[in-house]
């Protein structure tokens, strides 16, 4: 069987099964295409804007499709490509897409509010606070994981012999017997970041036509990569971590058009071109007869368990984005639900958007099958000693697939470089936005606990986020949430006067530089605790656990409305058992390996999960005591 069959079968399973199952769920939850959506009833030209479905789909997909569906399959394929592919396909159809659809639909029915606001309405204030703290921990882990992955990518070097390049080549700089490949992406990142304010100034301040800005962005991308080839940057990974941390600290506090929006606008052109090129490589490799039996085994569970732990729950944790991702619910209930023109659009965007991400993850598996050998894969991603580099594993697999598809002496190196630049685009664009979003969540916690004091009652403290702050929560390819907590900020019950040290302390908590610093500090604490592989286990667990909570919340919401809810409750239970089992499994591991930060985070997550579960059971008992509601039309 050729790799082309992997692509064809994946597309067929996701397309046909997904269409049938999503239609079934739509009938059960009472999807009403004639019902006016918040974008129409609350249209304000700013946040609630009726938008054509294809436009919203593109915006939503750019937000959810980040590095997760690439790195997860790369790490998890150690169990074999067949179980990875099966989990991606069936998890995507029956769990991940259901999660995304229900989150979009419920947020739309609830007036365009965030999923956290739904939790406040269904479970109460305390559960809302617990969920907010949970999200802060998750985002800190996301930032730490991607910070480490970025440092790995930006400093990657490969044995020159592996690239099959002639001795007189001029594509890559060679240091000793190593070829500098990450340094090219490093220079590209620096160049794009340096000119980002210019692009922001053009399309935000001067209102230059977006197509002209787009053409300039393509030129900038090409020039940045070319400069990187001739002048690659080589720095120590620790230096890169600190430099990126300083950058995101600044980017999280200044207007979004200077770096966040403009940098993502430039970088997204690399992502679009890269994803298209990956598809072309896989199709051509399949047509040329590249077989699935070449390198990565179909089943490798015994060896995978020796390397990564028990098949269950680890496979289902390692592949988070691509099968099911809790972050998507925050994207769906952020800006997406405020732009829909019909409830059917919630299905087309929420459900089908997840299926497209699952297809991206399936293409990553196909790329590894087509372009990697087992020995090279294990050496890159799961070395016996030292920390693995899944970024390099993906890049080399893309290079191998390109060489299998097109041949030629330079193809492997060019393909590996393209894969590196593609993935680096996903990684770095995540960091600055995620830190800013973590800052918003921390500020929300302070408002919840201290909102009754006069400092927080002042207009500067209680104002709604500005348009720029709302836009900042758009995630350019990072797969992270948007605007999760901008609705329903309760006014303080009383305005308690403050003075002296107490007033000063409260004002400090209001300052965005302080909260950005807390966000960066949490990121660094996790980042220096472990490498990409070590962090991915707890990051994936958190992501799946959030999905379980959202699915459980959706089941409660449907129960309250008198609707069928088993298709939300069953996957919620499966993911809850899986994630809690892994959190418990990680406790002795973190204790034995002296990782106190991860150990504390693990215990905190278990405690929050226990409380949210308790709040859910309490709500069910309360509903049972009431007369069963008729199904809402």
Over residues 368-390, mean pLDDT? 87
| Contact in structure between 359 and 123 (CB atoms under 8 Å) | no
Q: Give the whole-angstrom CA distance, residue 183 versus residue 26.
A: 49
The model's pLDDT over 582-626, given as tens digits with 9 standing for 90+, comes to: 999 999 999 998 888 889 999 999 999 999 999 999 988 888 777
Over residues 482-486, mean pLDDT? 39
> Sorting pLDDT into bands at 50, 70 and 90, what band is 271?
confident
pTM of the full structure:
0.83
The model's pLDDT over 185-219, given as tens digits with 9 standing for 90+, comes to: 888 888 988 998 998 888 767 878 878 888 998 89
pLDDT value at residue 204: 67
- pLDDT(468) > 60: no
Over residues 22-37, mean pLDDT? 94
Of 559, 59, 32, nearest to 347 by C-alpha is 32
Question: What's the CA dihedral at 449, 572, 108, 210 to 10 degrees?
Answer: 90
The model's pLDDT over 415-434, given as tens digits with 9 standing for 90+, comes to: 888 888 887 766 776 677 67
Residue 477 phi, psi (nearest 5)? 90, 10
pLDDT value at residue 496: 85
| Contact in structure between 421 and 154 (CB atoms under 8 Å) | no
pLDDT value at residue 470: 42
Over residues 27-51, mean pLDDT? 87
298 Cβ contact partners less than 8 Å away, ≥ 6 residues apart: 80, 81, 82, 292
The model's pLDDT over 558-579, given as tens digits with 9 standing for 90+, comes to: 999 999 999 999 999 999 999 9
- pLDDT(466) > 50: no
DSSP assignment string, 270-317: HHHHHHHHHHHHHHHHHHTT-BTTSSS-S--HHHHHHHH--HHHHHHH
Looking up tokens 């720029």 gives: 468
pLDDT value at residue 471: 41
> With pLDDT > 70 as the criterion, what percentage of the chain qualifies?
89
Q: Give the whole-angstrom CA distance, residue 412 versus residue 426.
A: 22
Q: Give the whole-angstrom CA distance, residue 439 versus residue 426.
A: 21
- In words, the CATH class of domain 3-486+512-624 is mainly alpha
pLDDT value at residue 478: 38
60-to-54, 91, 112, 479, 481 alpha-carbon distances in Å: 10, 20, 15, 9, 10
pLDDT value at residue 351: 97
- pLDDT(19) > 80: yes
Over residues 351-378, mean pLDDT? 94
> Sorting pLDDT into bands at 50, 70 and 90, what band is 46?
low
The model's pLDDT over 126-157, given as tens digits with 9 standing for 90+, comes to: 888 888 888 888 888 888 888 888 888 788 88
- pLDDT(256) > 60: yes
> Element (H or E) spanning 348, and its range?
none
143 Cβ contact partners less than 8 Å away, ≥ 6 residues apart: 248, 430, 431, 434, 435, 438, 519, 522, 523, 526, 527
């Amino acid at each position: 069987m050729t790799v082309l069959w992997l692509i064809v079968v994946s597309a067929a399973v996701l397309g046909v099964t997904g269409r049938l199952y999503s239609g079934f769920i739509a009938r059960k939850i009472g999807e009403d295409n004639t019902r006016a959506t918040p974008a129409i009833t609350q249209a304000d030209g700013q946040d609630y804007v009726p938008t054509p479905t294809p436009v919203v789909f593109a915006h939503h997909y750019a937000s959810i499709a980040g590095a997760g569906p690439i790195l997860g399959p790369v790490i998890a394929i150690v169990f074999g490509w067949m179980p990875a592919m099966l989990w991606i396909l069936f998890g995507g159809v029956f769990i991940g897409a259901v999660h995304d659809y229900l989150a979009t639909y419920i947020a739309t029915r609830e007036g365009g509010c965030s999923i956290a606001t739904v939790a406040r309405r269904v479970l109460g204030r305390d559960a809302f606070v617990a969920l907010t703290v949970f999200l802060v921990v998750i985002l800190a882990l996301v930032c730490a994981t991607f910070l480490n992955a970025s440092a790995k990518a930006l400093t990657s070097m490969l044995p020159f012999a592996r690239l099959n390049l002639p001795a007189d080549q001029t594509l890559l700089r060679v240091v000793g017997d190593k070829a500098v490949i990450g340094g090219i992406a490093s220079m590209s990142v620096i160049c794009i970041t340096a000119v980002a304010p210019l692009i922001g100034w053009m399309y935000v301040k001067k209102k230059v036509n977006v197509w002209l800005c787009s053409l300039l962005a393509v030129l900038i991308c090409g020039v940045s990569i070319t400069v990187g080839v001739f002048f690659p940057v080589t720095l120590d990974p620790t230096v890169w971590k600190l430099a990126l941390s300083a950058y995101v600290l600044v980017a999280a506090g200044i207007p979004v058009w200077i770096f966040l929006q403009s940098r993502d606008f430039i970088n997204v052109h690399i992502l679009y071109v890269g994803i298209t090129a990956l598809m072309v490589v896989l199709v051509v490799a399949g047509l040329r007869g590249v077989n699935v039996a070449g390198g990565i085994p179909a089943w490798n569970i015994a060896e995978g368990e020796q390397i990564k732990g028990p098949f269950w729950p680890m496979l289902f944790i390692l592949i988070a984005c691509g099968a099911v991702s809790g972050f998507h619910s925050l994207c769906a209930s952020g800006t997406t639900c405020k732009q829909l023109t019909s409830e059917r659009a919630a299905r087309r965007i929420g459900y089908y958007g997840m299926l497209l991400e699952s297809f991206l993850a399936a293409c990553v598996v196909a790329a590894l099958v087509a372009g990697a050998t087992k020995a090279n894969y294990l050496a890159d991603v799961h070395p016996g000693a030292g920390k693995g580099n899944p970024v390099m594993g993906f890049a080399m697999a893309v290079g191998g697939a390109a060489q299998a598809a097109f041949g030629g002496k330079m193809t492997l190196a060019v393909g590996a470089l393209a894969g590196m630049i593609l993935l680096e685009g996903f990684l770095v664009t995540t960091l600055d936005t995620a830190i800013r979003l973590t800052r918003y969540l921390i500020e929300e916690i302070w408002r919840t606990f201290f909102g009754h004091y006069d400092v927080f009652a002042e207009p500067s403290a209680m104002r709604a986020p500005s348009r720029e702050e709302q836009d900042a929560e758009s995630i350019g390819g990072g797969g992270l949430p948007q605007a999760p907590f901008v609705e329903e900020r309760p006014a303080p019950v009383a305005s308690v006067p403050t003075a002296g040290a107490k007033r000063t302390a409260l004002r400090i908590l209001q300052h965005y530089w302080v909260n950005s610093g807390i966000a960066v500090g949490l990121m660094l604490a996790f980042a220096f605790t472990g490498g990409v592989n070590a962090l991915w286990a707890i990051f994936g667990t958190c992501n799946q656990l959030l999905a379980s909570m959202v699915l459980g919340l959706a089941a409660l919401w449907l129960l309250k409305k008198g609707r069928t809810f088993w298709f939300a409750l069953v996957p919620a239970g499966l993911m809850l058992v899986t994630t809690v089992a892994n959190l418990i499994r990680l406790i002795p591991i973190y204790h034995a390996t002296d990782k106190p930060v991860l150990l504390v985070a693990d215990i905190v997550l278990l405690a929050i999960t226990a409380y949210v579960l308790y709040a859910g059971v309490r709500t069910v008992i309360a509903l049972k005591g009431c007369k069963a509601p008729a199904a809402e039309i």
